[in-house]
Structure 1
């Protein structure tokens, strides 16, 4: 058979196979259209098979039209048949819809989706780095400020603990006494009267009050003012009253509110009658004499002191305890910390000291024997 006829038969065979492939592709497309509402996981595989169908058909055409060693002169005809077959082959089927379409789009255009975020992420990354650095610097500054404050507070606390307040008070007192003596000596050397010149800075009333106060202080120091415990308690009470008046003035507003509340309560109970005079002034009239407190009344038990008053009471009690401990330490310092306390007050102490002066030389051996236990 001549090479021309062989090429014609091969081309017809290729056309038949191409038509079969086109029919298969149309059938696949129809099936995909019917299953478009519910796409399955095999949709991408079917789309790939449909896309590969023209390639398979073209390969079969090439194999069918491949010339043998005997038909080498007909290469041009075979190439022409191949071109005709490729022209007659259908185009690629439409892309599958649904999930398959989304996947094909992502596969087809990967570059734009990755390049745009990368371009926009660079400034954001740089801005975030700047913000992080600024926050880091702010945290460093705050840590340094806190460290400096803690160091200053620790130094102040160390200085406060290491400093003895009693020594500071003693130094101030000594400084004042020295200044007073120096000023007095300078005025007397100049031929002036020190007491008269010092009195120019005070009024007569202030000077008299000061002299009276100094006389009381000297009497208390010499323990000559003590007569009995009632007078001592009265002295402490007056001192507390003076301190309370100096620390907190009477709250007149609270007093007015409490008085108004008491009047309203008595009026509601009927024990107090509010009468309006001709001038429009309201007067409270006590009907049975129970509104104002008497010796038998217990209305004071309903009083609720404020928190500030309670704090003042606690502070006063604490100061009294500290004063008592201070006096006890001073008393022990005079007699020695290890000395036995053989007295109940200062008067009894003086009496015991007098007895010791006269009878210790006779009783020392007896007391030592009692302490050793050899006397029993």
Structure 2
């Protein structure tokens, strides 16, 4: 009879039929002793013994010893540097605060007045000493100046005196002249280079058009002769209307007009505030009627406010 078959259970739980010879071979392989390796193989495969604790601690302590000792010193040095820096900053802030408080406590007008008084006193003392010595003070003081500087100074003093005497109102023509001169001063210096370039371009254009002839005189001077009066403007010429100024000039003119308007409004407000006007509608015919209206407004405005607003809106029936 063939050998009987034994059942073998798999992982899935199903029984699997295995021949008996296969079972005996597996059992024999498990029970057979394993072959021990030779001495040389053991020597090759045997790992080196781990280092002892003393060796490990010694090797790790030797390089780390200097850094561990220097760390507190480095921290202390950085702390000292920060302390010195903070102290220097606080001292500088204290000095600046002291200077600022002294500057704010000092009145600049008083310093200017003291300097002016000191200059006047020095001038009078020097004049008294020179006159006491029997010399001419003005002549001696003029030794330190040139003729041109002295003439410019005298001209400046005469102009200053004339301006001081001309502050009062004389007539409207004089006021207009002063306003015109003030506007000229505020305008700034003219651009002569740009004016020269535009002039030469206009001359060349007129000469190319045939309305301007360049004539050389006997002494070699070049002059321009206008034929029909288009270049040199006359009362009948309209060529000036063709000129177009640049944007910077237009902006400067607009700024000047706006500044003049603001100054006029400011003077008007100051004048009205001085007279007691609040800038509203004029509801009086003389000063007595104005005072009477103000008295009425103090007592009855709170009752008639709605009626007046209705009249102004046009909704009053």
- Shorter-chain TM-score tier: 0.3 to 0.5
Higher-helix-fraction structure: 1
Q: Which has the higher contact order (CA 8 A, sep 6+)?
A: 1
TM superposition score normalised by structure 1: 0.40
